[in-house]
Chains A and B, each alone.
Chain A
């Protein structure tokens, strides 16, 4: 069974740049998987950041960007801030109305 893969954790310095990736255990991620990205802080529901790979959701700062890098989807934060410290999840469309989550990346800003 195909699994959506993400780095379990990542660390970035304040003001730094980080690219969180979203891959497949078998095969490549492409635009046809319609990658979307979500941010979640403890005790809160997820917040939509991006959809259709790189369409920014309302209110999302432009230091966040979405893209396809090689064979993976990527969420890049340029100029990380302390309040970007969160869990980040990617979701891929697998067909048949099924949206599959990656395992999530815990981002630490320090």
Chain B
């Protein structure tokens, strides 16, 4: 059974740092691209960052670029998100999510989120 379990959330002051982790099990972690998605209280889902399966390439939303760093340890089956210079607007539930690819008859790869963790809450407040 595929499982993604986030940890590391909590209350932090503005300007502080926090490191989130996502423990993966039930699948070959090193074969999948992974993403972080967040959801502020009462708001919609927002893509934060993604990392390729090897951990050699990453992208970030403009709102977190330069402050957040995504990484992974394929030997430990873990995905991390280092969050620095935190702001009140970073307050959200942070989900890790696995991306699967569907290949159509033409061979084109169609990415989508197929498994999600239950999320960890990050609150940034003084």
Partner-B contacts on A (CB < 8 A): 1, 32, 34, 36, 38, 40, 45-46, 48, 51-52, 55, 57, 87, 89, 91, 93, 96-104
Evaluate contact between B59 and A46: CB separation under 8 angstroms: no
Query: How many A-B Cβ pairs are below 8 Å?
Result: 68
Interface centre among B37, B52, B57, B62 (most CB of A within 10 A): B37
**Residue B35 CB within 8 A of the other chain:** yes
**Residue B50 CB within 8 A of the other chain:** yes
Evaluate contact between A89 and B104: CB separation under 8 angstroms: no
Q: How many residues of B contact A (CB 8 A)?
A: 27
Evaluate contact between B33 and A52: CB separation under 8 angstroms: no
Which residues of chain B are near A32, meaning CB under 8 Å? 108
A87 to B44 alpha-carbon distance, docked (Å): 9
Evaluate contact between B102 and A97: CB separation under 8 angstroms: no
Evaluate contact between A45 and B119: CB separation under 8 angstroms: yes
Evaluate contact between A46 and B102: CB separation under 8 angstroms: no
Evaluate contact between B114 and A48: CB separation under 8 angstroms: yes
Q: Given known contacts A48-B114, A104-B44, what 6 new A-B pairs fall within 8 Å (CB)? A: A45-B116, A46-B113, A89-B45, A93-B110, A97-B59, A100-B47
**Residue B111 CB within 8 A of the other chain:** yes
**Residue B112 CB within 8 A of the other chain:** yes
Query: Of B57, B59, B104, B112, which contacts A48 at CB under 8 A?
Result: B112
Evaluate contact between B113 and A103: CB separation under 8 angstroms: no
Which residues of chain B are near A45, meaning CB under 8 Å? 95, 116-119
Evaluate contact between B102 and A91: CB separation under 8 angstroms: no
A82–chain B nearest beta-carbon distance, Å:
22
A98 to B52 alpha-carbon distance, docked (Å): 11
- 4 A-B pairs with least C-beta separation: A51-B112, A52-B110, A45-B116, A36-B112
Query: Of A1, A52, A101, which contacts B112 at CB under 8 A?
Result: A52
